[in-house]
């Protein structure tokens, strides 16, 4: 179960180090992925050669920076098969992207009596902004239930059909659950939402770097993701929006770069994407995100998805054999993304993470920005192992050995 690309681990400088005297096993990819040399080089090259402000200067460096920045926008549009680069708005990440829709779209369209629909297993970033939008507008926020005592049944599609009334103005849902590993049937959800005239927003933070993603095939209205979970830098993300929707939307932030005409009394806005990118944008990280798209496509997103699937299959088989473990999300053998969350009856997740770290294994422990879901499942925290293109079966064995040591220690 080694990565299908020869020497792919050599592309990631950070992987080649010892942690607590043991070779690093990085299994916290759901939180952030590591960066290949080509992405790091793109950042360095920009700052060493092209650094300049964009869209303003007529000098050579500014033109180079502008070309590279807009080239990255086009590259990302191609990466998700958007119809038009103007549908790609650069943001700080998924959270800012969703907040932009919640505030701009929510302010313009939501009113008392309307319903905003989301699911019981959203990351806080796709939950709290809708709570705020509902509070501000007087709309009601409703949740599509999750099935199964361990959340193994996924989204309750029968309940969704009942909840999808003409009062629903917007349906926001995750593509892949960061806690459960559940892969939502996003195209089907968009189709159902469209039938009642609801706008759709997809949180693609966990899917963008892991599986092929085509916004036109999915049929969504908005889609949000972060660069840092797909081999790109932190601080850069994207809001995709259908062009006709974006052009009707008022900006959330105003200032330089997004205006056509300004007087002492008023201002008029440029079209998308500039309308939503007030101020000097994050040029370097946008360019490096374009480099990340190139890196992932050179490997092949089908192959990345296949490797994720193969790793998680092995992990599910080996982890489920540990005594006293409770794995949440899809059962062994069922479709799931490349991550596993689990809990032990007598060892808290933070103790697990501390001990695994002593073995050089990086895991995540906690509520995974999913507090309501944890409460629903009767948990306060879980430990999560999340895989990516550079992980190996040997690393899963290191994880399992570490967990066995932890169980033995706490059993006394």
Partner 1 sequence: MQDLTDLYQSVILDHNRRPRNRGKLPTANRVAHGDNPSCGDQCTVYLRLDGDRIGDISFEGSGCAISQASASLMTLNLKGKTAPEAETIYAGVHELVTTGKVDEDNLSDLAALAGVHQFPARIKCATLGWHAALNALKGDPITATTETHKD
Q: Check binding of 412 to partner 1 (CB under 8 A).
A: yes
Give which of 100, 91, 1 is closest to 317, Cα–Cα.
Answer: 1
Q: Which listed range, 114-122, 175-183, 224-232, 366-374, lies at the site for partner 1 (CB under 8 A)?
A: 366-374
Spatial separation of the C-alpha atoms in residues 124 and 99, rounded to whole Å = 11
**Minimum CB distance to partner 1 smaller for 21 or for 112:** 21
State which of residues 53, 294, 309, 371 lies at the interface with partner 1 (CB under 8 A). 371
Spatial separation of the C-alpha atoms in residues 369 and 104, rounded to whole Å = 24
Q: Check binding of 165 to partner 1 (CB under 8 A).
A: no
Q: Check binding of 20 to partner 1 (CB under 8 A).
A: yes
Q: Check binding of 348 to partner 1 (CB under 8 A).
A: yes
Q: Check binding of 358 to partner 1 (CB under 8 A).
A: yes
**Minimum CB distance to partner 1 smaller for 36 or for 129:** 129
State which of residues 70, 81, 257, 410 lies at the interface with partner 1 (CB under 8 A). 410
Q: Check binding of 376 to partner 1 (CB under 8 A).
A: no
The DSSP string of 213-241 is --HHHHT-SEEEEESTTTTS-TT-EEEEE
Neighbours of 108 (CB within 10 A): 11
CB of 112 to partner 1, least distance (A): 31
Cα-flanking dihedrals φ and ψ of residue 366, to 5°?
Answer: 145, -155
Beta strands per DSSP E along 12-128? 18-19, 22-23, 25-26, 88-91, 115-119
Q: Check binding of 323 to partner 1 (CB under 8 A).
A: no
Check if the beta carbon of residue 379 is closer than 8 Å to that of residue 395.
Answer: no
- Per-residue tokens: 348: 């808290």
Q: Check binding of 326 to partner 1 (CB under 8 A).
A: no
Q: Check binding of 151 to partner 1 (CB under 8 A).
A: no
- Per-residue tokens: 299: 């490997």
State which of residues 346, 397, 401, 404 lies at the interface with partner 1 (CB under 8 A). 346
Q: Which listed range, 52-60, 84-92, 270-278, 357-365, lies at the site for partner 1 (CB under 8 A)?
A: 357-365
**Minimum CB distance to partner 1 smaller for 109 or for 367:** 367
Cα-flanking dihedrals φ and ψ of residue 259, to 5°?
Answer: -110, 155
CB of 342 to partner 1, least distance (A): 16
**Runs of H (alpha helix) within 233-348:** 243-248, 283-299, 301-320
Check if the beta carbon of residue 223 is closer than 8 Å to that of residue 318.
Answer: no
Give which of 194, 225, 180, 228 is closest to 207, Cα–Cα.
Answer: 225
Binding to partner 1 by CB under 8 A, coded x per residue (else -) over 275-314, reads ----------------------------------------
Spatial separation of the C-alpha atoms in residues 117 and 130, rounded to whole Å = 9
* 369 tagged catalytic: yes
Q: Which residues pair with 327 in a beta bridge?
A: 342
CB of 410 to partner 1, least distance (A): 7
Enumerate the active-site residues. 369
* Site residues (vs partner 1, CB under 8 A): 20, 346-351, 354-355, 357-358, 365-367, 371, 374, 380-381, 409-410, 412
């Amino acid at each position: 179960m080694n990565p299908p690309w020869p020497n792919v681990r050599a592309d990631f400088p950070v992987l080649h180090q010892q942690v607590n005297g043991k070779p690093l096993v990085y299994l916290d990819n759901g939180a952030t992925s590591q960066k290949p040399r080509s992405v790091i080089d793109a950042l360095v090259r920009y700052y060493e050669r092209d650094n300049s402000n964009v869209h303003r200067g007529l000098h050579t460096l500014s033109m180079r920076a502008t070309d590279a920045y807009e080239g990255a926008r086009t590259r990302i549009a191609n990466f998700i098969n958007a119809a038009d680069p103007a549908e790609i708005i650069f943001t700080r990440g998924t959270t800012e992207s969703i907040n932009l829709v919640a505030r701009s779209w929510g302010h313009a369209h939501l009113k008392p009596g309307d319903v905003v629909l989301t699911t019981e297993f959203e990351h806080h970033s796709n939950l709290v902004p809708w709570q705020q939008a509902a509070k501000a507008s007087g709309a009601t926020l409703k949740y599509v239930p999750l099935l199964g005592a361990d959340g193994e049944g996924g989204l309750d599609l029968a309940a969704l059909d009942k909840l999808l009334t003409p009062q629903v103005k917007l349906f926001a849902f995750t593509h892949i659950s960061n806690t459960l590993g559940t892969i939502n049937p996003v195209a089907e959800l968009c189709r159902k939402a469209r039938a009642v005239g609801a706008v759709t927003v997809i949180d693609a933070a966990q899917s963008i770097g892991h599986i092929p993603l085509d916004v036109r095939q999915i049929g969504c209205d908005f889609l949000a993701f972060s660069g840092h979970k797909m081999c790109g830098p932190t601080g850069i993300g994207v809001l995709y929006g259908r062009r006709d929707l974006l052009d009707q939307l008022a900006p959330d932030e105003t200032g330089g770069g997004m205006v056509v005409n300004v007087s002492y009394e008023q201002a008029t806005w440029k079209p998308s994407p500039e309308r939503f990118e007030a101020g000097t944008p994050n040029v370097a990280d946008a360019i490096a995100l374009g480099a990340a798209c190139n890196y992932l496509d050179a490997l092949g997103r089908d192959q990345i998805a296949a490797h994720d699937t193969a790793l998680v299959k092995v992990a599910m088989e080996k982890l489920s054999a540990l005594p006293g473990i409770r794995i949440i999300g899809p059962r062994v053998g069922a479709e799931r993304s490349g991550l596993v969350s689990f809990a032990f009856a007598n060892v808290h997740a933070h103790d697990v993470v501390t001990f695994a770290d002593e073995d050089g294994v990086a895991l995540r422990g906690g509520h995974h920005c999913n507090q309501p879901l944890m409460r629903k499942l009767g948990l306060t925290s879980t430990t999560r192992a999340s895989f990516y293109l550079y992980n190996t079966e040997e690393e899963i064995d290191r994880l399992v050995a570490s967990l066995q040591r932890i169980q033995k220690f706490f059993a006394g």
